[in-house]
Each structure stands twice: as C-alpha cells, then as structure tokens.
Amino acid sequence: MQTPAPLEEYVRATSVADAIAQLEKYGEDARLVAGGHSLIPMMRLRLARPEALIDINDLDELKSIKVEGNEIVIGAMVRHREVLDSPLLFEHYPIFRECEKVIADPVVRNRGTVGGSYCQADPSEDLSALGSALRGSVVIQNSTGTRTVPMREFHFGPYMTQVGDGEILTEVRFPIRPGAGSAYEKVERRVGDWAVTSVGTFVVVKNGVVEDCGIGLAAVGAEHFCVPAAEEFLIGKAPTEENLVQAATLAAEGCNPSSDQRGPADYKKHLAKELTLRALRRSVQSSQGA
Amino acid sequence: MTAVEEAPLSPAGNPIGFGNMKRVEDQRFIRGEGNYVDDVNLPGMLHSAILRSPYAHARIKSIDTSAAEALPGVVAVITGKTLEGIPRPSLLGDNFAWMPTLSYDTQAVLATDKVRFQGQEVAFVVATDRYIAKDALELIDVDYEQLEPVMDAKKAMEPGAPVIRDDKGQTDNSITDVHGHKTWESGNAIGTAEAIAQAENDPNCVVVTQEIMYPRVHPAPMETCGSVSYLDKVTGQLTMYTTSQAPHAHRTVYAMVAGLPEHKIRIISPDVGGGFGNKVGVYPGYVLSVIGTIVTGKPVKWMEDRGENLMSTSFARDYHMTGTIAATKEGKILAVDVDVLADHGAFNGVAQPTNYPAGFFHIFSGSYDYPHAHCKVTPVYTNKAPGGVAYACSFRITEAVYLIERLVDCLAAELNMDPAELRLKNLLRPEQFPYTSPTGWEYDSGEYEKTMRVAMEIAGYDELRKEQEEKRARGEYMGIGFSFFTEGVGAGPRKDMDILGLGMADGIELRVHPTGKAVLRLSVQSQGQAHETTYAQIVAHELGINPEDIEVVHGDTDQTPFGLGTYGSRSTPVSGAAAAVVSRKVKERARQVAAAALECSPDDLEWELGRWFVKGDKERGKTITEIALLSHGSLELPEGVEGHLDATAVYNPPNLTYPYGCYICVVDVDPGTGQVKVRRFIAVDDCGTRINPMVVEGQVHGGLADGIGMALMELIAFDEDGNNLGGSFMDYLLPTAMECPTYELGETVTPSPHHPIGAKGVGESATVGSPPAVVNAVMDALAPFGVRHADMPLTPANVWRAIQGNPIRVDMAVE
C-alpha cells in the first residue's frame, strides 16, 4: 500500500468563486483535485505533496457540454466518459470519440476530467494534441476576472501551463467548422498506456482544395503540440496523397522526440509522419466537402 | 484415450472424482472475503517500512537515524549496524546483517558496507502506523559515496570492471557455485562440437547460430510480499503470517537462519494472491519483521508497495543465450550447442533443486530426437536485484524452451522449410518413451505428433498459410508461429533434488471422521491453483466421498505435515500423488474394517466407488460412510487392524512428470507502426489425466496471457546509471484482456506411467510454451523483410526497428 505524505487541509469548494478563494487562502501549496487520476497517484508516490486539497467535484457549473455561438464549450469538470459518449461532440468532430476511446481505460475515463487533463499538461496527453489540432482555447478564471488563452499558447513546457496560483481553468472552447473531417491516431505499447506517439487532425475540404486544417501531435516534443508549417503547406492545396505525404513529412520534421522505454527517437519521428498521414487521409475522406 | 470415465455426481452436483467442478475457494474470493496477510491485524500490532537505496552501487559512509527516531510514533529504527550487533547462534553466520540465499550465497538483510542494487534494503523503521513509518524514512540521512555500477552483463567480466562482491573478497564478478565451478556445463561437449564441425564441412548440412536474449521480467503477483510476525516472549513461540509458496521450507530456513527452535515457529500462509515463484525465497523484509518483533516485543507487519515488489524481489530470466543448431538439408536435426551468459544480480539467490546450478535449463534439447547436445552457462554478478528463478518458469525450462523453439524456427528459415514440417520431422516418437535426452533427462510419456496434429487441425493450418500468401500479395503482414514444448515438472526425487539440503518429498494426512466426512492436510500451498477443490476431487475419486464433504487444509505449519511447497508445477505431480496414495491407504484400512463387519476375509471383498462388497454378492457390502462409523465404533477388529479411518503418507516421486503441448499463434503486424495484434492462439496441452479440466484450462488461460505479456511488453531494463526502468505498473506493462484473443484450447491425454493417477503438472505449461509461439509468429510475419530474430519484448518500436534491420537491445535503456 502506498502512503501519501501528511495533508494539512481538505476542503470541498461550493462554487468557482469559493474554489478561487480557497486557493488564495492556502497559496502555492494548494492544489485543486478534480478526477484525481494524476494528482492522487503522484501524492501516493510522494512525488506531489500539496498541503491543501480543494475538491471541485461539486461544481456543477463546470459539468456541461454545450454550443455557444459558433463554439463548442466543454466544462472543466466534464469526465472523459462524457466526452466519449457525447453525440454533440461526435457530430461536429468525430476526433473527440476516437481520441477519448484510446485515453487510459474505462475506470480512469469514468472519473478523469477534461480540465484535469489540460492542467496536468503531460507531454503525452492526448487531449492536448486534440486541442492543439482544433486550435481550441481555454478559459482561466481568478479573483479579478477571466481570460481566454489559445491552446497553442497554453503550455510553457511539460507539466507547465498558463494557470497560475489562485487560478482555475473553467472551460475549453472549440470553434465549429462546418464540413470538417477529423481523425485521431495513436500508437501505444498496451491499451491504457500513454502514447508512444499520437496525432489528431482536422481538414476542411472545399471545391477540391484544403480550406483549413489542423495537426496536433503528442509525445513527440512538438512545441505547443503542433507544427504550423505542415498546416500552412497544406492549406490552399489539393488533398492529394502527395501533398498529404509532404505535410506529414513537415509535421515529423517539426518534432523533437526523445528516446525512452516507449521507443527510440527515430521511431517516434517516423510515427509522427506515419500517423499524421493516416489521420490526414481519414480527415480528408470524411470532410463533407470532399 | 479420454481422461477418465465420467464421474458420478454428488448430491451437490459435483463430480465424485474427476471432472469440471467450480472452485470452492471462489465462494470467499468473489464475496471479497479472502484473508490475505495484509488483512491480518493483531492486537498491539506495529507497522514498518524499509528505506531502500536510490543507487545501484554505492558505499555507505554513514547513516544518521536520530531525526527519524525523534519522530513521534516511531518505535525503532534498525540499520545494518544494529543487526551486526545481534549475535546469531546458528551455523550460517554470526550475526543478522547477512543471511544465506537458496544457492549458498550470502545476501545483506540490511546493507552494512555497500549497496549493490537500486532498491536494496538499507534501514528498517517500526512505528505505530504505516504512514509514520514512511514519514520516518524521509528523516534518515544516509551519506553515500557513489560507485560505478555494473549494469551490462556483457561487461561484468571485463578487466577493470568494478567488483561488486568485495564483501566476499572477490576480485571479479564471477559466481562460484557450491561445487566450486564458475561455469556450468551439461551434455556432451566433445560429441556436440564434433557433430557441428562435421556439419559445417558437409555440403548436405547447415549450421545456424543465433544470439537470443530472454530479458529480465518480473512475476508481479497481484498481492505483493509481506508478513506479520509475533514473538511471544513468554512461550518463545514465533508466529508468522507470511506470503509464502512454501511455509514449511520457510519455517526450517528461519530456524536455521535465526537460530530459533523449529518447534517454536509457526508459519501461516493465509490466502496468497498469486506467487509465480515470487514467494518462494526468503526476503530481507520477512526477516526484518521477525527482528522487529524481537526488538519491540509487539507484532510487526511489513507489507511491500508495488514499486518495492517490482524493484527488489525475485526477478526472472535475464539469460543472454547463443544457440548453434546443426541439421541436414532435409531438416534432420543433428546437434545443438548453447552458450549462456546468466545475469544473477547482486546476490546469487536462485532457487533451484538440482546439482546443476542452472536449474532445469539443460532440458533445452526439447521435444526433438537428436543425439548431441551441450550447454555452458556462465553466471555473473551485476548491480541488479537478486533472485533469478521465478515467474512460472519450471526452474529455467522457460528459457530452454524459448531457446530451442526459436532456434528451430531460425533453422526453418535457413532451410526455407515450413516450421511445422521441420518440427514433425524431428519430434520424438511414441515408441521412444521412456526417452533419455542427450543431457540426461528421462521423459516419461508422450505422443507428440498426435498433439501437434490436433493443434494444426484446430488452427486450420493449411488455410492459414493460404490466407498469409494472399495477404502478402496485398502488402499485409500476418504471421503464424509454432511452439512445441516439453517440460519436466514435479521436483523431485530425493536422490536427485533438494533445496538447502531439504528433500522434495511431500507429506499428507487424511482423516475420515465417524460420520464419513473427511479432512485432508497438505504440505503444499495454493496461490490460486484451487487446491481446496482439486485435492478433494482426488480423494473423492479414490474413496467415493463427496468432494463437498472433504475439507482441504493447507498453509499452516502447525496443522499440516512437512513438504516443500508449491512452485515449479510440483503440487499435482508430488502432493497430488500423495493424496492418491494416502487415500489408498485409507481404502485398505476400510477394507479390513468392512471385512470384520461382514464377517468375511478382506480378500473376498471387491471395491466399487465408495463401497466394499462381497465378491459375487453385490448386495452384501459397506459404504465408506458406514465403514467410517464402524471403524470408530465398538466393532471388534482383527489383531493388527487399528481402529479409526485415517492415514499419513510421504510421497517421494520416482521421476519428474513431462507435460508437453503444441501452441500456434496467429498475429497481424502493421509494418507502418510496428504494432502486433495477436489474432488467434491455439493451445493443445497434454498434462496427462485432468483432475478438473476447468481448473486446468484456467491455468492455461493465465499462462497464455503471461506469455503474450512477456513476448510483447513485459520488461525490467536498466539504464547505465543503474536505474530500474520497470519499477511501476506504468512502466512494467502487464497484458490486459484487450491484448489477449479468445483462446482456442485442445487436449490430448497421455497419462504419466509413474504417477498414481496418471497426472502431470500443468501450472506453468502455458507460460513456458507461449512466448516462443508469439515471437515465432511475429518473425514469420516479418520474414518478407528479411527479419530472422529480434529479442522480446516485441514492442511496436522494437518491431519497427527490426524491420529497419536494427532491433533494440532490450536489457538496457532504449537509445
């Protein structure tokens, strides 16, 4: 049995404002706990030792998936399972279902949250690849107000984000793109493992030309989980196999993976290209304008 | 033949004998009512934690425990120095800092001079609860001087390599066995070398050499290791609840190690949550819980967490093998020579029972008929955790089977011959049994070709090859892999086998109560093998008592006779035989009592299941239940016939049993990503008589999952700094249902001729037999790329690299 270090305080927040007030009260040694599937294991291994835990599981205001204007809004406390099952998300972007299906396992998906995944900011986080591909944004709130940060500016580096002390990520937003096709590809050593490499893409094809596209990559050292050069190359061109291969090649060139037990860097770089190509092909196929 | 006649059913619907029967153990397990060591809570019990080394190789300059001792709730902090100060009145050393291993080496209980692997035990804290004990670990200040670690077994014997065992006065990292040997040879070196040399010079022959590594893996039982020890200072009785596969052997070892009188030691292994060899050895943690109770006078619980289990307890394998196989171009195997570099970690803690220190590895000649075989094993110390024989390996038959089955496939590739055809050409034939192998094993029985044909029939082999051909034409890569394995299990005959001088016969006691209900007391210890079910079935088969009327007692040295425990698939071959023998003794007593009651000669009686009757007069007879009451009653018994209905037996097996099987694996490989999907797995096992086919199949299912795990993902590797890269379940991957196909099982039944009920061990068959089938299938899929071999685990990265002609070296960090 693993044994976390002593914890001074555990409180259940009653509202977003209350959560922020509690965070301010306990300062930098306080942590929010949502699904607890990253933080609690780290505490059990004593890799994390917050002095205060502020539980935000009661915050129903953060639990909805909805459309606002031309954006999809997902509350921070929405569970992976709800993303997986959401007809609304699937209707706009099949990538949500494809991505969630390969995140961890049902037990983790039942409990883990969207906000928790983004704030943990693991360099292998699938939702980060998805968010970067769709060029979403996150909403961060503190005691003075809220601000919206593009997903491609959200990360400072592995496990580091724009969410500061006394702040809470409340929702993530994704632009709706009529006619977009999307797909997610992941290689893992075993079901439930972190990605060796994963790639999510969307493509909007209109009149035989790629009008818009996004490519997000996890676990391969791509800055902000994306390689804009690959997207820029493809936009305005016909979605031919040759062009897709070139985009995938550019995507891989923009990655800087490191070797670890999941695989050597050369393999990950290869996967970045292979999976980008596969995801792009399927995205193009399913784009309604294609 | 079929296994046995169908047994009649008891009132509860269970077979009175052999057949499918639900496990009686599951009544408590599925209710969450099992009772494991960590469930044991004694009054006044203290908790403990072990401080472990962060380094693989470092000198301990000093240890300051004062801050830990000052933490409220801490009762004792024990270091190697403390242990050096406790005199030990035993033959095996003069203090408690070091203990003997099962291979006559020594192992530090708590490090005194140096730490020799990451995770080694350095200090022990006893406290009022587990959290405080862990908090106290952080307050212990150890001043280490880091030393260069030896992580690459291939470099361990290079001149100038850091010496790990300077405590023993060693000047290099060689391992010397109890006979004084630094290399362990078996078979005929000269004959094998000559046969290979001859083949090399014969245009009608081929010789294939392949380096094959079986990397380090871990048994990873669901329940980690632990113990609760209590020394009653008034009576001097030490009671120890512990996760042990061998309670009696542990008791004797504690008596010898600690100098405690054996009759004052009681070992209780309650429910054990999986063992796979991980719970055979004696770990420092167990010893420390005993020292904890000696020091504090209170019961002390020690329980590992997952990381501790993976990093410090018995690993398995870690064999760097080079095999050479010679054959004619028609595919007749002539000779096999094997050279092994064996990585034993920092202490030689191998548990194995033979004079040959590489255990059963020299059974590598496998299931094939050829005259010349030889192996040489060179063991070395490295800065890794000790252990060496664990994980359902039948004392290293796992490595042996993997080696020969891979070599045969490499030969098939060289000859451009179908691997099934090559095997069929070389399998031992029924008339050769009992067969003596070139390294001296006497296989008891087998009809190998029949078993292989059954497997090929289930697989639809010819259609599979056709499908493969069509797919290759489309650029799709499927592979079909074979494994034909022979195991030797049921250690073992007293004349040949022992562990630390303890012979491997198993005791047993059967007592039939006056009302005809019975209790059977076993020396072996279930860790999930369903002994409480299957042993009752053996007695039921022999005596006709309903299995639900037979209580099976095990796991408590005060309640059971002596025996060496459950590992190496030995329970059914040895203790299962004992159960049949003791039942037959009771049956014979019952005959005497029945004869007295029926006023006839015992010779006039005939047996039918559950009843003695007068020959020619079937109506005149006594059931076993009636006899039970008569034998406890006032019936006058003839002189020399004892009353009551009970017996004891000790079974000394005349030989091992040799289960075997043919496995076929079908995989699909995505060459773009290197991902392997195991699509089908066909397993045909011949383990002789099946006592409970459902239990056998359950064990086979588990073993196949084990094998798929080892072939595709399980691995303990180390980086050059000595860090263990498999120390959590995030890094040490076990397969899930998603990686395992729906298994397709088959059976043939060739009883063991020397076992009382014709049964052979089966617990490890699937773990032993399945990895080569998976690897052979993947290599078969990759044949169009010119790939002949890549080492396990065949992760997507490793498969992709193999296609690029650059497979990963798996035992070190991936570069």
pLDDT tens digit sequence for B64-87: 999 999 999 999 999 999 999 887
Report CB contact under 8 Å: A259, B725. Answer: no
CA-angle at A198, arms to A193 and A202, nearest 5°: 140
Q: Thinking of the domain A9-55, which architecture would CATH place it in? A: 2-Layer Sandwich (3.30)
The nearest CA of chain A is from the CA of B215 a distance in Å of 14
Chain B residues in contact with A46 by the CB 8 A cut-off are 134
Residue span(s) of chain A under CATH 3.30.43.10 come to: 9-55
ipTM of the shown complex: 0.97
pLDDT greater than 70 at residue B565: yes
Angle between helices B796-803 and A265-286 (to 10 degrees): 100
CB-nearest to B815 from A192, A194, A259 is A259
Q: What is the pLDDT of residue B89?
A: 62
- DSSP H or E segment with residue B482: strand B477-486
CB nearest B130 (choices: A1, A5, A267): A1
Mean pLDDT within B487-510:
93
> Taking CA atoms, what residue in B is nearest to A2?
B305
Chain B residues inside the 8 Å CB shell of A104: none
pLDDT, position B5: 66
Nearest to A189 among B713, B728, B815 (CB): B713
Nearest CA in chain A to B795: A189
Looking at residue B273, its pLDDT comes to 96
Which residues, 6+ apart, have CB-to-CB distance to B29 below 8 Å? Answer: B271
Token pair belonging to B517: 């209900």
Class of domain A180-287: alpha beta
Which residue positions in chain A have pLDDT lower than 70? 1, 289-290
Beta-carbon separation of A274 and B672 below 8 A: yes
Per DSSP, chain B holds a count of helices (H) and strands (E) of 18, 36
> Which of B137, B303, B800, B812 to mutate to test binding with chain A, by most A CBs within 10 Å of its CB?
B800
Mean pLDDT over each residue of chain A, to the nearest integer: 96
Q: How far apart, in whole angstroms, are the C-alpha atoms of residue B324 and residue B408?
A: 10
CA distance B196 to B209: 11
* C-alpha to C-alpha distance for B488 and B495, rounded to whole angstroms: 16
Span B419-432, mean pLDDT? 98
Beta strands in A25-165 (DSSP E): 30-33, 52-55, 65-68, 71-75, 137-142, 145-150, 155-157, 160-161
**For tokens 């600690």, what's the residue?**
B258
Q: What is the 3-state secondary structure (H, E, C) of B489-532?
A: ECCCCCCCCEECCEECCEEEEEEECCCCCEEEEECCCCCCCCHH
Interface probe with B: pick from A107, A185, A261, most Cβ of B within 10 Å: A261
Check: CB of residue A290 under 8 Å from CB of residue A205: yes
| pLDDT for the residue numbered B2 | 42
Minimal Cβ distance to A190: which of B306, B713, B800? B713
Nearest chain A alpha carbon to B729:
A193
CA distance B305 to chain A (A): 5
Which one-letter DSSP state was computed for residue B245?
Answer: S
B2 Ramachandran zone, left/alpha/beta (phi>0; psi -120 to 50) = beta
Nearest CA in chain A to B803: A267
Q: Can you tell me the distance from the alpha carbon of B246 to that of B383, in angstroms, rounded to the nearest whole number?
A: 28
In this structure, are residues B346 and B116 in contact, taking their beta carbons and an 8 Å threshold?
Answer: yes
Give the chain A residue nearest B813 (alpha carbons): A261
Task: Report the percentage of chain B scoring pLDDT > 70.
Answer: 98
B654 to B354, B496, B753, B755: CA distances (angstroms): 15, 10, 11, 9
Position B469 pLDDT exceeds 50: yes
| A267 chain-B contacts, CB cut-off 8 A | 674, 796-797, 800-801
- Whether B4 shows a pLDDT value over 60: the answer reads no
Confidence of residue B783 (pLDDT cuts 50, 70, 90): very high
Are A190 and B733 a contacting pair at CB < 8 A? yes
Q: What are the chain A neighbours of B713 within 8 Å (beta carbons)?
A: 189-190
pLDDT tens digits, A43-62: 999 999 999 999 999 999 99
Residues of B in contact with A6 (CB under 8 A): 131, 135
Mean pLDDT of all residues in B206-214: 98
Write out chain B residues lying below 8 Å of A1, CB-based. 38, 130, 303, 305
Tell me how many residue pairs between chain A and chain B have CB atoms under 8 A apart: 77
Length of chain B: 815
Inter-chain residue contact A267 with B725, CB threshold 8 Å: no
* Sign of the torsion formed by the C-alpha atoms of B698, B700, B704 and B706: positive
Residue with tokens 């042996």: B400
B673, B677, B720, B730: best to mutate for the A interface, most A CBs within 10 A: B673
CB B579 within 8 A of CB B535: yes
Does pLDDT of B390 surpass 80? no
Work out the number of other CB atoms within 10 angstroms of the CB of residue B515: 11
Helices vs strands, H then E, count in chain A: 12, 13
- Residues B434, B435, B438: CA angle, nearest 5 degrees: 155
Are residues B306 and A2, on separate chains, in Cβ contact within 8 Å? yes
Nearest CA in chain A to B672: A274
pLDDT at A253: 98
Could you tell me which residues of chain B have a Cβ less than 8 Å from any Cβ in chain A? 38, 130-131, 134-135, 303, 305-307, 672-675, 712-713, 715, 717, 725-726, 728, 730-731, 733, 735-736, 738-739, 795-797, 800-801, 808, 813-815
CA distance B489 to chain A (A): 32
Is B801 within 8 Å of A264 when comparing Cβ atoms?
Answer: yes
pLDDT digit string, tens, across residues B446-462: 999 999 999 999 999 99
CB A90 within 8 A of CB A96: yes
Whose structure tokens read 């405690």? Answer: B260
Cβ–Cβ of B814/A263 closer than 8 Å?
yes
Contact between chains at B673 and A262 (C-beta distance less than 8 A):
no
Tell me: cis bond preceding B772? Omega within 30 of 0 counts: no
Task: Report the candidate in B190, B107, B187 with the shortest Cα–Cα distance to residue B358.
Answer: B187
Q: Do A261 and B717 touch (CB under 8 A)?
A: yes
Flag whether pLDDT at B800 surpasses 90. Answer: yes
Beta carbons of A5 and B725 less than 8 Å apart: no
Chosen from A47, A101, A190 to mutate, greatest number of chain B CBs within 10 A:
A190
Q: Which residue of A has its CA nearest to B133?
A: A3
Contact B796 A187 (CB under 8 A): yes
SS3 category, A81: helix
CB nearest to A267's CB, from B303, B728, B801: B801
| Distance (Å, whole) CA B163 – CA B175 | 12
Closest Cβ opposite residue B739 in set A187, A190, A194: A190
Give this prediction's pTM: 0.97
Query: Can you tell me the mean pLDDT for B122-134?
Result: 97
Contact flag A264-B814 (C-beta cutoff 8 Å): yes
Q: How far apart are CA A60 and CA A82, in angstroms?
A: 14
How much of chain A, in percent, has pLDDT values that exceed 70? Answer: 99
pLDDT tens column, B313-346: 999 999 999 999 999 999 999 999 999 999 999 9
Question: In angstroms, what CA-CA distances link B344 with A62, B37, B55, B402?
Answer: 55, 29, 18, 19
Distance, CA of B750 to CA of B760 (rounded, Å):
9
CB contact under 8 A, B733 and A193: yes
The strand pairing partners of A172, in sequence order, are A74, A138
pLDDT in tens, B602-655: 999 999 999 999 999 999 999 999 999 999 999 999 999 999 999 999 999 999
Nearest to B797 among A45, A194, A196 (CB): A196
State the smallest CA–CA distance between residue A65 and chain B in angstroms.
Answer: 30
| Closest of B93, B92, B103, B100 to residue B344, by C-alpha | B103
Contact A112, A70 (CB under 8 A): no
Distance CA A219, CA A195 (A): 6
Q: What is the pLDDT of residues B590-613, one digit of tens each?
A: 999 999 999 999 999 999 999 999
Q: Where exactly does CATH 3.30.465.10 map onto chain A? A: 60-175
Task: Give me the phi and psi of B716, to 5 degrees please.
Answer: -110, 105
Q: How far is B734 from chain A (nearest CA, A)?
A: 8
pLDDT at B3: 46
Q: Which of the four CATH numbers 3.40.640.10, 3.30.465.10, 3.90.1150.10, 3.40.50.2030 does domain A60-175 have? A: 3.30.465.10
What average pLDDT does this structure show over B186-212?
Answer: 98
Q: E strands along B658-764, which residues?
A: 660-670, 675-686, 744-747
pLDDT, averaged across chain B: 96
Cβ-contact B651, B508 below 8 angstroms: yes
Cα distance from B798 to chain A (closest Cα, Å)? Answer: 8
Alpha-carbon radius of gyration of chain A: 19
Strands B645-651, B660-670: pairing is: unpaired
pLDDT band at B354 (very low <50, low <70, confident <90, very high): confident
**Cβ(B547)–Cβ(B537) under 8 Å?**
yes
